[in-house]
Structure 1
Amino acid sequence: MAEQPLHEHMLANGLRVVVCEDHVVPLAAVNIWYGVGSRHEVAGRTGLAHLFEHLMFQGSGNVAEGEHAALLESAGATFNASTSFERTNYYETVPVSHLELALWLEADRMGTLPAALTQANLDNQRDVVKNERRQRYDNQPYGTAFERLCRLTFPAGHPYAHTPIGSMEDLDATTLEDCADFFGTWYAPGNAVLSIVGDVDPEAALAAVERYFGGLPAGPAAPAARPGDLGPLGEVRVERVDEDVPSPAYFAMFPLPGDGGADIEAAELAVEILGGGSGSRLYDRMVRRDEIATEVWAGVTRLVGGPSLAIVDAVGPDPAKIAEVLDEELARFAAEGPDADETARATAQAERGFLEQTETVTGLANALSANATQFGDPARVFSAPSRAAAVTADQIKDMAGRWLVPGSRTALNYGGAS
Structure 2
Amino acid sequence: MPMGHTAIPQDTAGALTATEHRLANGLRLVLSEDHLTPVAAVCLWYDVGSRHEVQGRTGLAHLFEHLMFQGSAQVKGNGHFELIQGAGGSLNGTTSFERTNYFETMPAHQLELALWLEADRMGTLLSALDEESMENQRDVVKNERRQRYDNVPYGTAFEKLTAMVFPAGHPYHHTPIGSMADLDAASLEDAREFFRTYYAPNNAVLAVVGDIDPEQVLAWAEKYFGSIPAHDGKRPPRDGTLPLIIGAELRELVREDVPARALMAAYRLPHDGTREGDAADLALTVLGGGESSRLHNRLVRRDRTAVSAGFGLLRLAGAPSMGWLDVKTSGDAEIADIEAALDEELARFAEQGPTPEEMERAQAQLEREWLDRLATVGGRADELCKFAVLFGDPTLAFTAVRRVLEVTPEEVRAVAVAQLRPDNRAVLVYEPTGPSEQADQGDQTDTTESTDSDTEGADK
TM interval, shorter chain, is over 0.9
Q: Deviations over 1:124-172 (max 9, x none)?
A: 0000000000000001111111001011111111111100000000000
Question: Could you state the TM-score of these two structures normalised by the residue count of structure 2?
Answer: 0.89
Distance in 2 (alpha carbons) for counterparts of 1:206 and 1:89: 20
Q: What corresponds to 2:326 in structure 1?
A: 313
- 1:27-42 equivalences under 5 Å are 27-42=39-54
Q: What corresponds to 1:139 in structure 2?
A: 151
- Which residue of 281, 284, 290 corresponds with 1:271? 284
Distance in 2 (alpha carbons) for counterparts of 1:375 and 1:207: 27
Q: What corresponds to 1:253 in structure 2?
A: 266
Is 1:292 aligned with 2:308?
no
- Which residue of 337, 354, 361 corresponds with 1:345? 361
Tell me if the contact between 2:282 and 2:412 (Cα under 8 Å) persists in the aligned partners.
yes
Q: What corresponds to 1:79 in structure 2?
A: 91
Distance in 1 (alpha carbons) for counterparts of 2:338 and 2:134: 45
Q: What corresponds to 1:243 in structure 2?
A: 256
Tell me if the contact between 1:249 and 1:318 (Cα under 8 Å) persists in the aligned partners.
no
Identity level (%): 54
- 1:161-180 equivalences under 5 Å are 161-180=173-192
Q: Deviations over 1:182-224 (max 9, x none)?
A: 0011111111000000100111111111111011101125211
Is 1:122 aligned with 2:122?
no
More displaced stretch, 324-333 vs 362-371: 324-333
- 1:3-402 equivalences under 5 Å are 3-230=15-242, 231-316=244-329, 317-402=333-418
Tell me if the contact between 2:256 and 2:432 (Cα under 8 Å) persists in the aligned partners.
no
- When the two structures are aligned, how many residues end up with a matched partner? 417
Q: Deviations over 1:364-393 (max 9, x none)?
A: 111111111111111211111110111111
Tell me if the contact between 1:229 and 1:307 (Cα under 8 Å) persists in the aligned partners.
yes
Distance in 2 (alpha carbons) for counterparts of 1:301 and 1:369: 18
Distance in 2 (alpha carbons) for counterparts of 1:78 and 1:256: 35
Gaps of 5+ in 2: 1-12, 434-460
- Which residue of 408, 420, 444 corresponds with 1:404? 420
Query: Residue 75 of structure 2 aligns to a residue in which SS?
Result: coil
Distance in 1 (alpha carbons) for counterparts of 2:282 and 2:422: 18
Q: Deviations over 1:310-338 (max 9, x none)?
A: 10100113222222211111111111111
Q: Please tell me the residue identity of whatever aligns with 2:60.
A: L
Tell me if the contact between 2:260 and 2:432 (Cα under 8 Å) persists in the aligned partners.
no
Tell me if the contact between 1:320 and 1:416 (Cα under 8 Å) persists in the aligned partners.
no
Tell me if the contact between 1:107 and 1:213 (Cα under 8 Å) persists in the aligned partners.
yes
Gaps of 5+ in 1: none
Question: Could you state the TM-score of these two structures normalised by the residue count of structure 1?
Answer: 0.98
Q: Deviations over 1:22-60 (max 9, x none)?
A: 111111100000000001000000000000000000011
How far has the Cα of 1:406 moved from its partner? 2.7
Tell me if the contact between 2:44 and 2:207 (Cα under 8 Å) persists in the aligned partners.
yes
Distance in 1 (alpha carbons) for counterparts of 2:86 and 2:307: 46
Query: Residue 182 of structure 2 aligns to a residue in which SS?
Result: helix
Distance in 1 (alpha carbons) for counterparts of 2:51 and 2:262: 29
More displaced stretch, 216-225 vs 19-28: 216-225
Distance in 2 (alpha carbons) for counterparts of 1:85 and 1:14: 23
Q: Which runs of 4+ in 1 moved over 6 A?
A: none
Tell me if the contact between 1:36 and 1:186 (Cα under 8 Å) persists in the aligned partners.
yes
Distance in 2 (alpha carbons) for counterparts of 1:275 and 1:178: 42
Alpha carbons of structure 1 residues 180 and 400: separation in structure 2 relative to 1, 3 Å: same
